[in-house]
């Protein structure tokens, strides 16, 4: 609905409604208010402005609110700020909001700060007004101020404003406090704030609390919060619940959860839904999900779609197409199957391009659930405020490979020296890998790794697997 009755053009404009505070129950009509307003009655002038606004007469509304504001009515000054934000000039909107905010109107201060930040890019001025509003009790201002402080890397101050907003009921700030605590290594605080937000109905907080509990080897607690998040259609929670059902052998439930997540476009869940459909003897549905994942660039889904086309439909051409797609993305088994098909088709020259040196190996092992959860939490923490996203699969591969290659080691007093000695890699490369791993598993001891540091660690773990045998 528009700001003014019948005003369709303003329906999509993001600006606050005019204020009637203190007069909502007043039933005076135009004929009663006009004589009083003409006689200098400020209250009557404000009410006339409201009356004309409700009738869609912008000009008359502005006129009477200006009369009332000139007489000291700050609700009218606020309404004029709104009026100019929608129909007038930015400069006039700022002027009227400043007039209302000056004596301490928190709502006007928030609107003023928002205009200054989003329309003028004046961060220092916006911050001053947000702080004025926050100190006057505005929860919205406290949250905006917290985010500004986070972006300025003022983490302690950001936490104080998030805490003020969260204690006033802001679930998003409670969720953010959980991440600030997690990044600082304060896991009890992270648990507290994520649980506060989750129980208030904040689905991402419920999901991240589930990951946190999973990372701390509490699968039952994790499942409870995944279910809470799934009630709000959180796709990650649906995926996690699918994995739990699959680990218990409940294919029907697993399929339902994975398909629910897959419908949101998550490639991993599309591929996994395909695998579950294969296990349930539904090749048509399996082909659908493998196809969607393969179209999204998933090499393993492309490989399995190729296998399915050959096994179910004797479609060698289709199988060859998808094997080639997967092989180009580094899928070794797809390269081998493609070479076999090409050889049978009498194309030895192309066979040679795949057999001698197929692209490097991909990580296709299932890591421990707690390691996957740590990888997801790190990726979410880094990406929160516009950080460069870290691929969850790469983080999982780093954690999973270290776990895999160090399993034979009984004495862990000097893992770096043992790995360097066994693999022939430089101790510096192993030490760097260990520092990245520690940052993922024990937040707070060091900054989150950068994308370049993750790439360097990833190259090291792949070389470790190549030299130590497990692939």
Give the whole-angstrom CA distance, residue 411 versus residue 409: 6
pLDDT reported for residue 355: 65
Q: How far, in Å, CA of 4 to CA of 20, rounded?
A: 14
Alpha-carbon span 31 to 34, nearest angstrom: 6
3-state secondary structure of 358: coil
Token pair, residue 460, equals 């090291």
**What residue has token string 């404000």?**
46
Residues 6+ apart with CB under 8 A from 373: 211, 212, 214, 215, 222
Count of C-beta atoms within a 10 Å radius of residue 391: 14
Q: Angle at CA 373, nearest 5°, toward 371 and 375?
A: 70
pLDDT at 259: 98
* Model pLDDT, residue 36: 84
Q: Is 169 helix (H, G, I), strand (E, B) or coil?
A: coil
Q: Residue 34: exposed, middle, or buried by beta-carbon count in 10 A (0-12, 13-18, 19+)?
A: middle
188 exposed, middle or buried (CB, 10 Å; 0-12, 13-18, 19+)? exposed
Structure tokens at 427: 């101790």
Query: What is each CA distance from 458 to 233, 237, 285, 397, 429, in whole angstroms?
Result: 33, 27, 35, 7, 11
Residue 117 and residue 123 in contact, taking contact as beta carbons nearer than 8 Å: yes
Per-residue pLDDT of the chain (471 residues; tens, 9 = 90+): 234 444 443 333 345 666 664 444 445 567 778 888 788 888 998 998 898 888 889 999 999 899 999 999 999 999 999 999 999 899 999 999 999 999 989 999 999 999 999 999 999 999 999 999 999 999 999 999 999 999 999 999 999 999 999 999 999 999 999 999 999 999 999 999 999 999 999 999 999 999 999 999 999 999 999 999 999 999 999 999 999 999 999 999 999 999 999 999 999 999 999 999 999 999 999 999 999 999 999 999 999 999 999 999 999 999 999 999 999 888 888 988 998 888 887 777 777 676 645 445 556 677 899 999 999 999 999 999 888 899 999 999 999 999 999 988 888 788 999 999 999 999 999 999 999 999 999 999 999 999 999 999 999 999 999 888 754
pLDDT in the model for residue 330: 83
Give the CA-trace dihedral at 279, 284, 286, 289, to 10 degrees: -160
Alpha carbon distances (Å) from 420 to 409, 410, 452: 13, 16, 22
Quote the radius of gyration of the chain (alpha carbons, Å): 30
The encoded tokens of residue 258 equal 């994975």
């Amino acid at each position: 609905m528009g700001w003014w009755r019948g005003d369709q053009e303003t329906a999509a404009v993001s600006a606050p409604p005019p204020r009637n505070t203190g007069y909502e129950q007043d039933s005076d009509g135009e004929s009663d208010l006009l004589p009083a307003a003409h006689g200098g009655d400020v209250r009557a002038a404000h009410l006339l402005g409201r009356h004309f606004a409700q009738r869609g007469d912008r000009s008359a509304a502005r006129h009477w609110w200006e009369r009332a504001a000139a007489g000291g009515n700050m609700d009218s000054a606020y309404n004029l700020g709104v009026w100019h934000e929608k129909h007038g000039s930015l400069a006039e909107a700022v002027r009227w909001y400043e007039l209302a905010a000056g004596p301490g109107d928190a709502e006007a201060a928030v609107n003023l700060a928002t205009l200054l930040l989003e329309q003028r890019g004046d961060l220092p001025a916006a911050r001053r007004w947000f702080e004025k509003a926050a100190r006057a009790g505005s929860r919205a201002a406290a949250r905006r101020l917290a985010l500004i402080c986070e972006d300025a890397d003022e983490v302690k101050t950001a936490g104080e404003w998030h805490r003020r907003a969260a204690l006033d009921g802001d679930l998003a700030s409670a969720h953010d406090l959980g991440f600030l605590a997690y990044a600082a290594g304060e896991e009890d605080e992270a648990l507290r704030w994520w649980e506060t937000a989750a129980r208030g109905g904040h689905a991402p907080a419920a999901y991240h609390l589930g990951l946190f509990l999973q990372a701390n080897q509490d699968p039952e607690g994790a499942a409870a919060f995944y279910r809470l998040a799934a009630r709000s259609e959180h796709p990650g929670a649906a995926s996690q619940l699918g994995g739990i059902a699959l680990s218990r052998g409940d294919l029907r439930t697993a399929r339902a959860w994975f398909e629910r997540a897959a419908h949101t476009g998550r490639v991993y869940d599309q591929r996994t839904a395909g695998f579950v459909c294969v296990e349930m003897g539904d090749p048509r549905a399996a082909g659908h999900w493998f196809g969607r994942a393969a179209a999204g660039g998933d090499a393993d889904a492309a490989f399995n779609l190729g296998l399915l086309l050959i096994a179910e439909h004797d479609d060698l051409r289709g199988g060859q197409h998808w094997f080639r797609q997967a092989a180009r993305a580094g899928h070794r088994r797809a390269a081998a199957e493609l070479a076999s098909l090409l050889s049978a088709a009498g194309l030895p020259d192309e066979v040679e391009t795949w057999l001698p040196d197929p692209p490097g190996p991909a990580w296709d092992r299932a890591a421990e659930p707690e390691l996957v959860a740590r990888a997801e939490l790190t990726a979410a923490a880094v990406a929160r405020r516009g950080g460069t996203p870290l691929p969850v699969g790469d983080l999982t591969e780093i954690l999973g490979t270290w776990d895999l290659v160090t399993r034979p080691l009984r004495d862990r007093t000097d893992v770096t020296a043992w790995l360097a000695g066994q693999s022939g890699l430089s101790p510096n490369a192993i030490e760097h890998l260990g520092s990245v791993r520690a940052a993922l598993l024990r937040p707070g001891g060091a900054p989150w790794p950068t994308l370049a540091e993750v790439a360097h660690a990833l190259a090291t773990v792949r070389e470790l697997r190549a030299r130590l045998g497990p692939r």
